[in-house]
Amino acid sequence: MSAPTTTRHERRAEPQNANNRPEDPRPAYRGQAHELFEQKKFYETILNTIYDGVFVTDCNDTITFINNAFSLTTGLPPDRVIGKNILLDILTDVPQHFQHYYAQARSRLTPVHFESIPAATFSGLPIVLSGWCIPKHAEGIFDGMICTFTDITEQQQIKVKLSESETRFRSIAETATDGIITVHSSGKVMFWNTAASVIFGYTESEVMGKEIYQIMPDEVMSDHAQIFAEPEESMSHRSIGTTVEGRARRKDGTIFPIELSIASWMIGAEVYFTAIIRDSTHRKYMEKSLRNSEKELKNLSSRLLLAHEQERKRIAYELHDGLGQILSAAKIGVKTMLDDSAHRLAAGNGNAATGLPAIIQSAIDEVRRISRDLRPSILDDLGIIAAINSFCFDFEKVNDTITIIREISASDGDIPEKIKIVIYRVTQEACTNIVRHSHADRVTVHLSSVSGNIQLRIHDNGAGFDPQTHLTCRESDRGIGLSSMKERIEFSGGRFILTSSPDQGTTVQALWPPVPTEA
């Protein structure tokens, strides 16, 4: 079998087959690599323009990329980071924080979010970071990590300052003596301090989130309902920024007066109202008491003037009817004796002269009685105990149907000078009232001193009366006796106590505390 031969045509074709070899792929690879490189530069440019820090690691946790924000935040330039192991070389100072989240994302192959973790810059400045660890993986095998973070140090500082400010506000608000309540424009209570709980009787847990209308009755909220109207109306309501008087209701249902000051403020589009509330019950009571005291003082002043005039009239009558008549009789006797002395003496009639000493003595006694009523000289000469005993003796002598029982255990030295005349006048006035109104036949006068406390008590077994009825009667019908005693006692620093009831007699009591000794 002969060997195969080739024709000329076939021989010519062989070189052509040699020229038709496969094209070189390297230019195409170079084009793809260039395209990938351009894409990489494009994405790196984008990453370098964002504010969040970004770094990328490979499957061995070696850093392959960081953006500009990473360097700005941490202070680490690329040449100190690229090619370094994130866990072994970079995060050696914070193993308990970022490493934990990085390792968690690596092992689970799922993104992990970290929030407010402490870190430090290259220079040691503390910072706070939040961000994500996003693992790359192929068929369940870890292939690197993309980590992003935001420097929230400033936000954290603001948050801390806000928290401190809120703590200070709460401290001030909780220690305030006025009630402080914050209400949303919808009427819901947002803040309720301790003083508000004391004023209204509701605890904070009972009112927080509740509508203010549930706490205040309709008749009370009608005073303030317009405040919680539409926000634009509320902000210009006349009650805002001013102190007004109103009413409120306690938990037990009692309505009481308040002073209310309201301020409005906004967070975004939400309107809030903060009310400062003061319970004015005590102030109202004091104002009423002051008005009553002023009225009583005016009435007392008027009655004192009348009493002074009556006392002047009484003294004038006593001088005219008593001492005046006695002196007139003495004058007539003297004139008659001088005009007809010789005739009368010759006739043996000496009665005109012998009767004059008795008339003059009567005048002297009358002057002494008037003087004693105005200011008892025995009080200045012998003291309060002798003055009380003398008064009781004279009183029984004039009012022979009344017996006075004296219980006097104090001594003159126990009683301060300034209240001696008060004790005497109160005793005098009380006994005068007994004669006029009580119809008693027995009176007890008690005067004692225990550890510097002075007690005067005058009790009778007479008709008695209802003190409350006496206080509510017309002031002009009360007389000045009890008011005079009360004023004298309280003006001298004592306490006036009156007890009485129908058919049970009356007790007038005065108590004076110890007088402090002068240093």
Predicted pLDDT of residue 473: 57
Q: Which amino acid, one-letter code, is at 56?
A: V
**CA-to-CA dists, residue 74 to 129, 154, 181, angstroms:** 11, 15, 46
Helix then strand then coil, in percent of the chain rounded to 5, is: 50, 25, 25
Look up the pTM and report it: 0.42
Predicted pLDDT of residue 95: 45
CA torsion sign, 465 to 471 to 473 to 476?
positive
Residue 255: CB atoms within 10 Å: 13
User: Each residue of 400-422: pLDDT tens digit?
Assistant: 899 999 999 999 889 988 888 88
Structure tokens at 4: 């195969």
Name all contacts of 99-102 with Cβ < 8 Å and 24+ positions apart. 101/133, 102/133, 102/145, 102/147
Which residues, including other chains, have CB under 8 Å from residue 265's CB and lie 6 or more apart? 271, 272, 274
Predicted pLDDT of residue 144: 94
Predicted pLDDT of residue 1: 37
Predicted pLDDT of residue 218: 59
Burial of 318 from C-beta contacts in 10 A (0-12 / 13-18 / 19+): middle
Which residues, including other chains, have CB under 8 Å from residue 444's CB and lie 6 or more apart? 404, 405, 407, 457, 458, 459, 460
User: Each residue of 348-375: pLDDT tens digit?
Assistant: 555 555 566 676 777 777 776 666 666 6
Cα(184)–Cα(191) distance, integer angstroms: 10
Q: Are 133 and 102 in contact (CB under 8 A)?
A: yes
Residue 296: CB atoms within 10 Å: 13
Cα(444)–Cα(455) distance, integer angstroms: 13
Strand spans (E) along 139-238: 141-151, 179-184, 189-192
Q: Are 86 and 55 in contact (CB under 8 A)?
A: yes
Predicted pLDDT of residue 59: 93
Cα 181 from chain centre:
14
Name all contacts of 233-242 with Cβ < 8 Å and 24+ positions apart. 234/185, 234/264, 234/271, 234/273, 235/264, 235/271, 240/264, 240/273
Predicted pLDDT of residue 233: 47
Predicted pLDDT of residue 60: 93
| 222: enclosing H helix or E strand | none
Q: Are 368 and 394 in contact (CB under 8 A)?
A: no
Torsions phi, psi for 151 (to 5 deg): -80, 110
Burial of 110 from C-beta contacts in 10 A (0-12 / 13-18 / 19+): exposed
Which ranges of the chain have pLDDT less than 70? 1-31, 91-96, 214-241, 302, 305-306, 309, 312-313, 316-325, 328, 331, 333-357, 359, 368-375, 470-480, 517-519
